[in-house]
Copies of this chain bind each other. A is one copy, B any other.
Amino acid sequence: MNTLRSTTTNGLLEREFTLGDDLHGVLWSPSEDPAPLVLLGHGGGRDAKAAPMAGRAKRLVEAGFHAVCIDAPGHGNRPRTAYDVQQEAAMKEAMATGVPVGPIVVPYNRHLADLAVPEWQATLDFLEGLPGIEGPIGYFGLNMGTAIGVPLTAREPRISAAVFGIFWYDEQLATHAREIKIPVEYLLQWDDQHIPRESGLALFDAFASTEKTLHANSGAHKEVPRFEVDSMVRFFQRHLR
């Protein structure tokens, strides 16, 4: 790990790092070690330093966890391919013209997940060796964070509790969900203008977990209530302690 920057504010240690050629991330740590680790998968168009990740990381550190987020392929300052540029333009056009965006997002995010899963595994291999990171590992990610997190969690036995949501049902993603047996908390927006209600419910249904909870909130795609951050922290407190 090449640490680019390290700052400590009110007991929150924030380390921006690169790993290998191309991987960039942020690791947030509490002052008291050892502590379990939560992986944060950011949403589409965001990156590891975006406010939604930094805010959740701060809450997790306050609750005594490490949190880490890495830039997804084609996100942050990472190189973007012609395919990335083309897909992003197609998503924007679909949203602007009211065409369903799911049929674009789902295969594009599946492509990104194919690249991102081994990157998360390399990150995990590295972080596991750091002093102070100890105990079971959690994963949080909505939207694209779910598209990447579900196949990652299906493949990765080190992850023992996960929060997913705000994504479409798709046969390939559901196949991975059916392999997941760890506790899952799953978010769905009841009035999502992009994801049909039945599609979100079907993806929740697919998880093989004996312990899973759906939190469906009134409101549109981007209106996930702030109190769900508290719920996520409590979920990890129940399962990673």
Interfacial residues, chain A to chain B (CB-CB below 8 A): 190, 201, 204-205, 209-218, 225, 227, 230-231, 234, 238
Contact = CB atoms under 8 A, between A and B. Distances in A.
Given A227-B238, A234-B230, A238-B227, A216 B216 contact: yes
A213 B217 contact: yes
Residue of A204, A218, A225, A238 with highest tally of chain B CB at under 10 A: A218
Contacts of A212: 190, 217-218
Question: Chain A's interface: helix, strand, loop or mixed, by majority?
Answer: mixed
* Protomer copies: 2
Nearest to A218: B212
User: Which 8 residue pairs are nearest across A and B when measured between Cβ atoms?
Assistant: A214-B216, A212-B218, A213-B217, A211-B218, A215-B215, A210-B218, A213-B215, A227-B238
A214 B213 contact: no
Contacts of A201: 201
Contact of A215 (B204, B214, B225, B234): B214
A218 B225 contact: no
Contacts of A204: 216
A204 B214 CA distance: 13
Nearest to A191: B210
18 contacts: A190-B212, A190-B214, A201-B201, A209-B218, A211-B218, A211-B225, A212-B217, A212-B218, A213-B215, A213-B217, A213-B218, A214-B215, A215-B215, A216-B216, A227-B234, A227-B238, A230-B234, A231-B231
Contacts of A213: 215-218, 225
